[in-house]
């Protein structure tokens, strides 16, 4: 029987429906101001895509920042456990998961079965998260989705010393005033993020292979900067934003079969 995982993040809500360990539907909607409604909506979209109704599901697990608001299931699991499970399913060799989401950044050490060994999360600071990149894109009048490709064109990234969102924004404005090109500024921003994430991840044992999940993984420039900083290849699954929802669906399946 099919199972569903719903990940209500700070910026987007995602759902994944699995049947016989195969993804049959995925959906994504902005979270907006109502976590409960967006969770519901993304689940309904996925059900529609799979051509099934909620009653056909053997189980649903909710995860993410808004998991407690999800009223369609009692099964809630943290995004840390779900990202670990989802990452393991996508890339079984993964031992370190770097998840950069809307407002959270985390590094998770996992074992060969996708179980969490240790993890670290950012504190109250949004540096290195999707929100940080949104603020920078706005300051530079660039579309968020264009940041990655643009930064790859740079051969002399600007120096951005601050990784505090507020201070970095004023630093970016200063660089613009100095006449530094947008391309170099964006590349500099990505380098600053990479340094920050590297310092955080160093608190868990970083083992090969490293996988990156969350919305920021769609930014090729950040991935490149991280690869340089970690001096290692970083694997990105096809749908990095759905890793948490996928993990939740996998756990729903395990619980349904237990």
Partner 1 sequence: MASDSLKRLLEKRDDPYAWARGWKERTGGKVLGFFCCLAPEEMIHAAGALPVRITGENRTISKSGAHLQSYCCSLARTGLDMALEGELSFMDGTVFVHTCDTMMRLSDIWRLNAGFAVHGDIVLPVRFEGPSAHEYAVSELSHFKRKMEESLGPIDDDALNESIKIYNKNRRLLSELYALRLENPGLVSCDEALWIVTSSALMEKSEHNAILEEILADLKSSGAGSEPDGRVRLFGIGSVMDQWDFLKMVEDVGGTIVDDDFCNGRRYFDTEAPEGIDPVESITERLWERQSCPCKHRTDRDRAVCLAGRVAESKAKGAIFWMFKFCEPHAFDYPHIKKALDDQGVPSLNLEIEQGSVSIEQLRTRVEALIETIRGS
Contacting residues toward partner 1, per CB under 8 A: 65, 77-81, 115-121, 123-124, 203, 251
Nearer to partner 1, 68 or 173 (CB): 68
Nearer to partner 1, 41 or 85 (CB): 85
Nearer to partner 1, 152 or 206 (CB): 206
Q: How far is the CB of 137 from partner 1 (least distance, A)?
A: 25
Q: How far is the CB of 12 from partner 1 (least distance, A)?
A: 17
Q: What is residue 18's DSSP assignment?
A: E
- The secondary element (H helix, E strand) that includes residue 25 is strand 22-30
Q: How far is the CB of 258 from partner 1 (least distance, A)?
A: 10
Nearer to partner 1, 162 or 181 (CB): 162
Q: Residue 61, SS3?
A: strand
Phi, psi of 68 (to 5 degrees): -70, -20
Give the start-end residues of each E strand in the chain: 3-8, 12-19, 22-30, 60-63, 96-100, 105-110, 116-121, 210-213, 234-235
d(CA 183, CA 187): 6
Nearer to partner 1, 54 or 118 (CB): 118
Half-sphere exposure of 178 (CA within 13 A, CB side): 13
Phi, psi of 211 (to 5 degrees): -120, 140
Q: How far is the CB of 139 from partner 1 (least distance, A)?
A: 26
Nearer to partner 1, 79 or 184 (CB): 79
Q: How far is the CB of 234 from partner 1 (least distance, A)?
A: 23
d(CA 26, CA 42): 9
Nearer to partner 1, 36 or 228 (CB): 36
- Who's near 159: CB < 8 A, 6+ residues apart? 188
- Measure the N-to-C terminal CA separation of the chain; round to a whole number of Å: 13
- Burial label for 211, CB within 10 Å (0-12, 13-18, 19+), is buried
Q: How far is the CB of 182 from partner 1 (least distance, A)?
A: 34
Beta strand 3-8 with 105-110 is unpaired
* Structure-derived torsion over alpha carbons of residues 114, 115, 117, 118, reported in degrees to the nearest 10: 90
Q: How far is the CB of 104 from partner 1 (least distance, A)?
A: 9
């Amino acid at each position: 029987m099919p199972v569903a995982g719903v990940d209500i993040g700070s910026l987007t809500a995602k759902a994944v429906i699995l049947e016989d360990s195969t993804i049959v539907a995925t959906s994504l909607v902005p979270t907006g101001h109502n976590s409960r409604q967006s969770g519901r909506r993304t689940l309904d979209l996925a059900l529609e895509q799979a051509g099934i109704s909620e009653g056909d599901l053997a189980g649903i697990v909710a995860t993410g920042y808004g998991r407690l608001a999800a009223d369609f299931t009692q099964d809630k699991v943290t995004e840390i456990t779900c990202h670990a499970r989802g990452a393991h399913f996508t890339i079984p060799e993964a031992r370190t998961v770097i998840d950069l989401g809307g407002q959270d950044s985390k590094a998770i050490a996992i074992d060969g079965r996708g179980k969490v060994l240790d993890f670290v999360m950012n504190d109250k600071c949004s540096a290195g998260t999707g929100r940080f990149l949104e603020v920078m894109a706005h300051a530079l009048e660039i579309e968020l989705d264009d940041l990655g490709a643009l930064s790859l064109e740079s051969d002399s990234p600007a120096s951005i010393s601050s990784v505090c969102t507020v201070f970095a924004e004023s630093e970016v404005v200063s660089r613009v005033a100095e006449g530094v090109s947008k391309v170099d500024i964006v590349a500099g921003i990505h380098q600053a993020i990479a340094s920050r994430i590297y310092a955080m991840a160093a608190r868990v044992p970083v083992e090969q292979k490293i996988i990156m999940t969350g919305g920021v993984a769609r930014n090729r420039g950040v991935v490149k900067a991280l690869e340089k900083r970690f001096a290692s290849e970083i694997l990105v699954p096809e749908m990095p934003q759905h890793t948490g929802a996928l993990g939740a669906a996998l756990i729903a399946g395990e619980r349904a079969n237990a």
